[in-house]
Structure 1
């Protein structure tokens, strides 16, 4: 470690960073409140149901859900237990590898997310896109793409860990 002061953010960088930080905090809270009020789902539950509904099998490993939701596996396990009690999904052994557990969307869960989606989409549109116009939306898209690319290139663990006994491509190792 050096004795030099770090290169602090400029006033403009600090303003933008604090604004982005506010978005990262406030937007999930607002989306969660809307879902709770209109659909009796948390944002995390919605992410799980929506993610499963987009898969042809309606199933995913709990470890994949953990990555999708940015939640610890233990938290996902408790969440899945609560959702299972509500009839929204069920646990099943992974047919490809019985060491893993899958969450499988039930018909009730599929119907619940189908009913919740229009209100969620309307809230996303109202909070993010309505005030931007076409030019603002396109610029936000380009900015987000650049940030995601920068984070993806960083030396940080932002990809799901490779399961034991599997290569990075998902194939079984010999």
Structure 2
């Protein structure tokens, strides 16, 4: 087990780096296309098989609260970017699916966002360091899903 002071210092460094990067990326995000929260929802749906996802599963992956997700999805439906249908396997569930228009809008924002990420993250670390960062972050996330005693 790591030393407590070292663990806290590592958390502070990770947290402050994440906040700094997010502020920078938010400032460069193409808000004329969509908000960063809308992008997060569309990103998660776009990665699901068939570009469709149960609302319950979407709630687990996005960075905003469940009530906010439901309202945001309703706004995306009104704009024609996603559609909602009843889950045929669970009558209480809802499936959210990207529409062709929604996927196109997502792609436009994603291309811009990927350039900003590359500028902010890809220029600060080399490929080996980026792979290390991916591995470390994956380990941290997995540890949260399966906490040790």
TM-score, normalised via structure 1 length: 0.71
The aligned length equals: 147
Q: Look at both structures and tell me which one has the larger radius of gyration over its CA atoms.
A: 1
**Could you say which structure has the higher strand fraction?**
2
**Higher RCO by CA contacts (8 Å cutoff, separation 6 or greater):** 2
- Matching residue of 1:118: 111
Q: Is the 8 A contact 2:40 2:63 kept in 1?
A: no
Q: Is the 8 A contact 2:81 2:101 kept in 1?
A: yes
1:1-174 equivalence runs, <5 A: 9-10=4-5, 13-37=7-31, 39-154=32-147
TM-score, normalised via structure 2 length: 0.81
**For structure 2, which runs of at least 5 residues remain unmatched after alignment?**
none
Q: Is the 8 A contact 1:31 1:43 kept in 2?
A: no
Say which is worse superposed, 145-154 or 91-100, in terms of deviation.
145-154
CA-based RMSD of the aligned residues comes to 2.5
Change (3 A) 1:155 1:40: farther
After superposition, give the CA deviation of every residue in 1:41-100 in whole Å (9 maximum; x if it has no partner).
222211221222233432212111111104322111111111112221122111222211
